[in-house]
Structure 1
Amino acid sequence: MSFLDQILVSLESTAWDVLPIILVLSFFQFAVLRKSIPHFRRIFFGLVMTVVGLAIFIIGLNECIFPLGEAMASQLSDPQFLSPEDPVVQAMLENGKRIPPVFYSWTILFAFLIGFSTAMAEPALIAVALKARDITTGAISAWGLRIAVALGSGTGVALGTYRIIVGTPIQYYIILGYILLLTQTYFAPKFIVPLAYDSGGVTTSTVTVPLLVALGLGLAHNVPGSSPLLDGFGLIAMAAMFPMMTVMAYAMIAQVIQKRRLSQPSA
């Protein structure tokens, strides 16, 4: 299929995907509100740009992000890269056993940095951080919120990568993680709790999800004893859970620092 054919097919598919949204909005605009659409030309132009942008984005995912993520994961978890001459590793491979996690240090570091960098570049997170800064008149720093979310995302992806390497069932991580999260919710400042839970959702969006899916599947295909179905998925859940913890921790630390400053006698 030529590149032009790919664009046409992606445009058609994207238009059909967007059509239900258009029908719902049109029904409420004309049948319920019974008003014409203000600035129709500008809105129509924006709609066309949305469809074109989504179509090109999908092509970019299929042509670049998915192959690159799977290739990097496969190369970093390749036994020949991990320890090509270690007799222990070779013996484990011959017996079909999992290689100890210590040999995957570069893989886990790569997973953390991918989780951190993709969260920092996530458009949805940037928008939420800017709105939070404006509403709180600067009390919540946009950069501070983004870094807190990115640290949580990186930690979650790194831990999810470790889970794939050792083969532990994901439910243990999720259950324990949400027990800690609910406990933290009770002690965290009340104003940060809704924002923290929203931050976990916006972290796993257009930039993060494709890379994490490619990373997880690439690792599961290459780690001995792993199943792509059981182990290849789950990184997105980990990347969504830990940012909620780090955002609440960020607010709790900021609150403690503020209390200490207020308790100090003025000179």
Structure 2
Amino acid sequence: MSSELKNLMQGLSDALRDLMPIVGIVVLFQFAIIGQPMPDIGAKLAGLAAIALGLTLLLRGIGLVLLPLGEKMAFSLAARGNLALLLIFAFALGFGSTAAEPALFTIAAQAAQVAGAEGLIADEAVFAATLRYLVAGGVGAGIALGALRIAMGWPAMPFILGGYGLAAVLALLADTPLSALAFDAGTAATSVLNIPLILALGIGLAAAIRGRSPLADGFGLVAMASLMPMLVILAGELVL
């Protein structure tokens, strides 16, 4: 058996193990609390197998491609010494990876459906697309700002604490039914697809710049990538 196949089998075993607590909770509540047999048990088992296989392949692909590629590109851009090019790349990486983020598609569709049912919006499709692109733009801006922070050697905490404090103030000022959506959308913006890229960018950039620590300076980009979409949506509510 080849080493790659062994790695895949180990990944599948790990994925099944990680899914067991969720399965256990669902089964416990289904039989002990609800008191009814689980319908379509065959379909449920097939779905569980599909989730485990998909998660295995996704994580393996991330480890083989996205993480090393992100670190290498960050290192190469930092070595060029072109700050503007680095920031453009950081924004494009954040925007592109977030626009394709499945979790964001889900929350945008759900938000559009609920807002449409309550008569808050006229066109659900336009609202969902606008929300996705606003969030993607916010993530791109957050990663670009985080890359600038690493390049300049600024600490992360003032940005993170100040940003979340500003988000709280904007939420109080806006006070609309969509305010809570800003926080959920910002959280959903960073998920399984783009987090590895963001981490790779931060660690690779910190490793490439003299005087920066990958541990102390390379992390914090994910927090800023989650924060900026919240600020963008909350500020948009105040303007509109």
Q: What stretches of structure 1 move > 4 A for 4+ residues in a row?
A: none
How far the C-alpha of 1:3 sits from its partner, in A, is: 2.1
The one-character-per-residue Cα deviations of 1:123-142 (angstroms, maximum 9, x if unpaired) are 01111111111111271601
Task: Name which of 107, 117, 120 aligns with 2:99.
Answer: 120
SS at match of 1:55: helix
1:221 counterpart residue number: 207
Query: By how many angstroms is 1:199 displaced?
Result: 0.6
RMSD across aligned C-alpha pairs, in angstroms?
Answer: 1.3
2:185 aligns with one of 191, 195, 199: 199
- Mapped pair 1:107 → 2:86: yes
Residues matched between the structures, number: 232
Partners of 1:249 and 1:211 in 2: how far apart? 27
Shift, 1:35, TM fit = 1.1
Residue-by-residue CA offset, 1:204-249 (whole Å, 9 max, x unaligned): 1011111001111100100111001100100000001110011122
> How many angstroms apart in 2 are the aligned matches of 1:197 and 1:47?
30
1:151 aligns with 2:151: no
Offset, 1:5: 1.2
The two structures have a TM-score, normalised by structure 1, of: 0.84
- For residues 159-178 of structure 1, the aligned pairs below 5 Å read 159-178=145-164
- Counting aligned pairs with the same residue, the percent is 36
Q: Match for 1:41: what amino acid?
A: G
Query: Who is 2:61 aligned against?
Result: 60
1:189 Cα deviation from its structure 2 partner: 4.3
Q: Give the alignment's TM-score, normalised by structure 2.
A: 0.93
2:234 is the counterpart of 1:248: yes
Quote the offset at 1:147 in angstroms: 1.1
* Residue range with higher mean Cα deviation, 40-49 or 138-147: 138-147
Residue segments in structure 2 that go unaligned for 5+ positions in a row: none
Q: In 1, distance between residues paired with 2:224 and 2:97?
A: 14
Unaligned runs of 5+ in 1: 83-102, 256-267
Equivalent-residue separation in structure 2 for 1:121 and 1:249 (angstroms): 24
What is the match of residue 95 of structure 1? none
| Residue number in structure 1 paired with 2:29 | 28
Aligned residue in 1 for 2:9? 8
Tell me, what secondary structure is at the counterpart of 2:212?
A: coil
Structure 1 letter corresponding to 2:145 = L
Match of 1:265 in 2: none
Quick check: 2:146–2:220 contact (8 Å CA) kept in 1?
yes
Matched-pair contact (CA < 8 Å) for 1:189–1:252: no
